[in-house]
Structure 1
Amino acid sequence: MDDEVDEVETDDVVDEVPDELEEETLSSYTYLIKNGHIMSMTDGRKAMVQAVDKILRTERFVYPIYDDQYGNDFEELLGKDFDYAEVEVDRMLTEALEADDRVTDVAVDSIEKIDSTTLKVIGSCETIYGTIPVESEVGLDESGSTGD
């Protein structure tokens, strides 16, 4: 019997983690997904971009596989007026992303009203792998919110 094991293709470039953060930082090794299909494995910045996107798309407290710190609270903004939502979306975005120990800072650059039921939030997420741009749409009507 042949003992060869098929190896999963990985990215050639793996970003370095500063030594002082390595012990307390979760591994970022994950699947590289393109067009909804797993293509290979990835780590570092690409994995962090995927993690930020996933946090913005996941409602907190809904899925039992995640702890109570994972995801966002954007659903709480349903039915709220624009002025209230504008203040809260900044806090909620920061809280959601900073729950990941690889995130060092979150900056919201702009919050604009797309229409009477949608806010567009643009900012950046500073991580141990560099800056990741953040763009998300948050619905204020009863049909729900979306993360882009």
Structure 2
Amino acid sequence: MDNQGDVIEVTAPSLTYRVINGRIVGMIDGQDAARQAIDKILRTERFVWHIYDDQYGNDLAELLGKEMPYVKAEVQRMLMEALKADDRVNDVRVDKIEQTGSDELSVFATVTTQFGLLNIESEVTT
């Protein structure tokens, strides 16, 4: 609190390792760290890797074999749930879902982080 009794919000640093092709090549912070975290969440299937708690990763693999209308309805909810588990993510808006094949979708979204907006693209194969 400050002298007037107002609560002051403090943002913790997001300093982390920069990983490129599986190798640590330095450090990153801020928006770059958030982008890397989002990319990792989108690449990690939830409940598969025991090193992560049950809030980390995504459930997109559950869409495999499902009908495309169901997939289109669920993909937004799943992305929102997966990405909002990271406290740097404030909001997720799916901008476009495009069927790119008989069993494949491309999802384009805007993620609002505490460091600004990030545009993401993720492929879902059903």
TM-score over 0.5 for the pair? yes
Deviant stretches of 4+, over 2 Å: 33-37
TM value normalised by structure 1: 0.76
C-alpha separation between the residues in 2 aligned to 1:124 and 1:134? 6
Q: 5+ residue gaps in structure 1?
A: 1-18, 141-148
* Structure 1 or 2: more strand by fraction: 2
Partner of 1:113: 99
Matched, 1:78 2:67: no
Aligned with 1:96 (options 69, 73, 82): 82
Equivalent of 1:32 in 2, 5, 18: 18
Task: Indicate how the Cα distance of structure 1 residues 100 and 21 shifts in structure 2: closer, same or farther if over 3 A, else same.
Answer: farther
| Runs (5+) with no aligned partner, structure 2 | 1-7
2: CA distance, partners of 1:41 / 1:79: 39
**Based on CA coordinates, which of the two structures has the bigger radius of gyration?**
1
Q: SS at 2:61's partner residue? A: helix
Aligned-pair CA distance for 1:29: 1.6
Distance 1:44 1:73 in 2: 26
Alignment deviations for residues 5-31 of structure 1 (CA, whole Å, 9 cap, x no partner): xxxxxxxxxxxxxx5142xx5x52211
Alpha carbon RMSD of aligned pairs, Å?
Answer: 1.3
Q: CA deviation at 1:111?
A: 0.3
Note the C-alpha offset of 1:44: 1.0
TM-score under structure 2 normalisation?
0.89
Q: 2:9: which partner in 1?
A: 20
Identity of aligned residues (%): 55
